[in-house]
Structure 1
C-alpha cells in the first residue's frame, strides 16, 4: 500500500473520478470541483444513486444528466449488469483514476464494489497493454471504526452486494479495503492512498455528515446497517419510506401473541447493548407502502459491544419460528442476480443460511462468528493504519 501526501505532484495529469456528494467540504465545495483545479479532469464515474444521491436503491442512473464543462459523465449503475464495469474507451488517455467517495463499513454497500470493478478493469488493461492509470484513493475514516462482524463471503454468493472473502462489517477504510483487493487478488495495479486529512485538513472537522445515499441519513444508520441490510431479502420493511431507514423496521403481520413472545425473546438478546422501541409506522414508499406496520426502532446503546449482524440473524430465526406462514424470504431479481434469492447474496455463507433455516444453535453461531472475525482481523492487519 503506497501513500502520497501531496497530490499536486500529479498536477496536470488527465484524470477520471468515481465520486458523489459524500466527497464534500474543502472550501465549501464538492471535491471533484477542487480536483478540476489540479487535474485535467476528463470523466466523472457515477455510482449507484447518482452524483447527489437522488435515486433510491436498484434504480438505474441512465436518465441522469449533468453539465460540468467538458467533463464526460459515465453512469456505472444502469439497467444491465454490464453497465457496472467502466467501458474500456473511458480509460484511454487517462493517467489517474481517482476514488473519492465515502463508505459505510459494510460489504453490501456498493460504492467500493464499483471501485473494485474499476480496479479489475485496470488490471486487465495492464495485462493487455503493459500499462494502466494510477489508482488514486482519497481515503476517509470508516464511520463505524475498526470493529468487524461476520464471516467471509463465499465465492458462490459473490455479486454486486458482496466481494468474495470480505466480512459483512469489514473494519477497513476505502484505501485499506481497495489495497486488500489489489494485493489479495493479485491485480497488480499501482494503488496509491492519500489520507483525506493531508489534502483537505478542515473537511472532517468542519462539516456535518453528508448522506452518501438516500437511506443512510445519519452516521448512526451505519452502526445498524451491517445486520439490518439483510432485511432487504425479506418481506419486512427495512424502514425505507421513513425518516429512520434501517433503524426502523417491521411488518403489518407482527401482531398477536406471537409478537409478545418475539418481544420477550429479543429483550434477552445482547442485553444492555441496545434498546428496541415498539412503534407503528407508515412507509411512504417501498415495501408496505401506505400500510401501517408494527415494528421497532433499534436504538444502539453500546456501539462497541453491539453485534448488528448477530442480532438480525437471531431476529430472522425467531420470525421463521413464530410466523412460519407469514414471514418470507423474497425471490426474484436482486442487484442483477436472479439465480439466487437476495438473502443468500447478502448472507453469503452457507453455515449462516443453515442457521436461518433452523439448523445450529445460537452458541454455535456465536462461536462461528467469533472465530471468523478473529481470523479476518489478523488477515487485514497490514491494511489498517
Structure 2
C-alpha cells in the first residue's frame, strides 16, 4: 500500500467506477478514494453508479450528491457521449480505473475504459503535464478460459473492440495493458490487485450491472448474450437473466429439442424446462416456454458454442417464428445486432447453415489457442 500512497497522495484524481468496486475497507472504493486522497472527477459507465439502469438506457438523467466531485456520464443519448473529450481531463494528473468486468468483449465497461485511455493518450501527446493511469485489478469472475474468435474490424462497435475474442480470459488490468501496447497509447501504467477480498465468494457478489445478478451468470454470458440479437428473451425481466431463455413460441415440453441442444456438450450441462413471464423487455407480460442452463461442469462448458448452436437449432425448429432483430443496436444501425455480437464471417456462416458444428468447434479451438499465445504476457 505504500506504493499506492506514493502514487495517489497529492494527486488530482479522476475515477471510472461503479458499485462493483466494493469491499476495500468495507465501502465503495470511490468513497474510500475520496476520503483518503480526494476525488476531482467521477466517470460513469453504462448502467450508472449503482447499476440502476437497464442496457442501452442513457445515464444523462442520473444525478448524485458527491460534494465537490464532478460527475461525467460516459453513456448518454448519442454515440459522441461514449468518448470523453480531452477537456474533460483538464485539472487531472491521474486516471483511476476500478470496475469489474465479466470476461466478455460485449460487456461495455472496459470499452469505456479504453475510450478514456485513448483520450489520456491524446491529452499527453498535446504536451503540458502528463496523466498517469492506475488500475485496481480483480479476478476475472468467468476465469481464464478463452472462447471465441477475434472481432473483425468491420464489426467494430461499443460492444466489440477489433481483435478481441468473445470471452477474453484476462483480468481488467490485463486487458487494459494489452490495449495500451496494442494501440500504442502513451501514459505510465500501474496496477494493484489486492483491493478485493474473496472476489470469487458467491455470497459476496456485487452485481456490476442489473442483469448480472449472480456469480454464475458470468459463465454463460459470453454465449447467451447473442440472444440480444434475436427475438428470444435472454431472461431480462426474470430473476435469472442469461441463465434462462425462452419465447412464447418455444415448446419447453419438446424432448427432441432439449436433447438436440444438449447433445454437443452432453454431460457438461443440463437444460431444465420451464415457463416464465418476463416483467419487462422482450415478451413482457407473456408466458414463454424456455429453459434454464444448469452447469454440471462449469469449467468445461463452452458458452459461445452453446449460444451459436442454440440459435441455429431454434432457427431450424421454428423457421417461421424465430428471427434476428433489426434496427439500431449500441449506436450502430448499418449492421444488425447479431452481426455486431458474433463479429466473424465464419461464425455467421455457421448460423446460416454453411458450416458444421465440428467445423465451428475446430475453428474456435485454433483461434482461442492463438489468442492465449498473443496475450500470455498479460495474464495476471
- Measured against the shorter chain, the TM-score band is over 0.9
| 2:87 alignment partner, one of 67, 86, 89 | 89
**May I ask how many residue pairs the two structures share in their alignment?**
378
Within 2, Cα distance between the matches of 1:87 and 1:321? 47
Is the CA contact 2:224–2:304 (under 8 Å) kept in the aligned structure 1?
A: yes
| 2:235 alignment partner, one of 239, 249, 252 | 239
Is the CA contact 1:141–1:173 (under 8 Å) kept in the aligned structure 2?
A: yes
Q: Point out the more displaced range, 314-323 or 201-210.
A: 201-210
Q: Give the TM-score normalised by the residue count of structure 2.
A: 0.96
Give runs of aligned pairs for residues 292-311 of structure 1, distance below 5 A. 292-311=287-306
Within 2, Cα distance between the matches of 1:364 and 1:233? 23
Cα deviation for residue 261 of structure 1 reads 3.0
Q: Look up the match of 2:126.
A: 128
Superposed CA deviations along residues 235-280 of structure 1, whole A, max 9, x for unmatched, are 00000000000001011111399x4432231131201000100000
Cα deviation for residue 140 of structure 1 reads 0.6
Within 2, Cα distance between the matches of 1:260 and 1:341? 32
Matched, 1:98 2:96: yes
Matched, 1:9 2:3: no
Superposed CA deviations along residues 316-339 of structure 1, whole A, max 9, x for unmatched, are 111121211111000001110101
| 2:167 alignment partner, one of 144, 166, 169 | 169
Mark the CA change 1:99 to 1:330 in structure 2 (over 3 Å): closer, same or farther: same
Within 2, Cα distance between the matches of 1:182 and 1:21? 25
Q: Give the TM-score normalised by the residue count of structure 1.
A: 0.95
Matched, 1:51 2:38: no
Within 1, Cα distance between the matches of 2:230 and 2:288? 14
Within 1, Cα distance between the matches of 2:274 and 2:95? 46
Please, which runs of 5 or more residues in structure 2 have no aligned partner? Answer: none
Cα deviation for residue 201 of structure 1 reads 6.3
Is the CA contact 1:142–1:173 (under 8 Å) kept in the aligned structure 2?
A: yes
Is the CA contact 2:10–2:37 (under 8 Å) kept in the aligned structure 1?
A: yes
Secondary structure in structure 2 of the residue aligned to 1:344: helix
Cα deviation for residue 68 of structure 1 reads 0.8
Cα deviation for residue 187 of structure 1 reads 1.5
Q: Which runs of 4+ in 1 moved over 3 A?
A: 200-207
Please, which runs of 5 or more residues in structure 1 have no aligned partner? Answer: none
For the aligned residues, what is the CA RMSD? 1.6
Within 2, Cα distance between the matches of 1:85 and 1:132? 19
Mark the CA change 1:202 to 1:231 in structure 2 (over 3 Å): closer, same or farther: closer
Mark the CA change 1:17 to 1:222 in structure 2 (over 3 Å): closer, same or farther: same
Q: Point out the more displaced range, 207-216 or 373-382.
A: 207-216
Superposed CA deviations along residues 52-83 of structure 1, whole A, max 9, x for unmatched, are 00000000000000011100011000000000
Within 1, Cα distance between the matches of 2:341 and 2:196? 36
Matched, 1:215 2:211: yes
Mark the CA change 1:302 to 1:12 in structure 2 (over 3 Å): closer, same or farther: same
Matched, 1:275 2:275: no
Cα deviation for residue 36 of structure 1 reads 1.2
Is the CA contact 2:138–2:196 (under 8 Å) kept in the aligned structure 1?
A: no
Mark the CA change 1:56 to 1:123 in structure 2 (over 3 Å): closer, same or farther: same
Superposed CA deviations along residues 95-154 of structure 1, whole A, max 9, x for unmatched, are 100000101011100000000000111112222226531111110110011110000001
Mark the CA change 1:351 to 1:44 in structure 2 (over 3 Å): closer, same or farther: same
Secondary structure in structure 1 of the residue aligned to 2:320: coil
Is the CA contact 1:152–1:349 (under 8 Å) kept in the aligned structure 2?
A: yes
Matched, 1:314 2:306: no
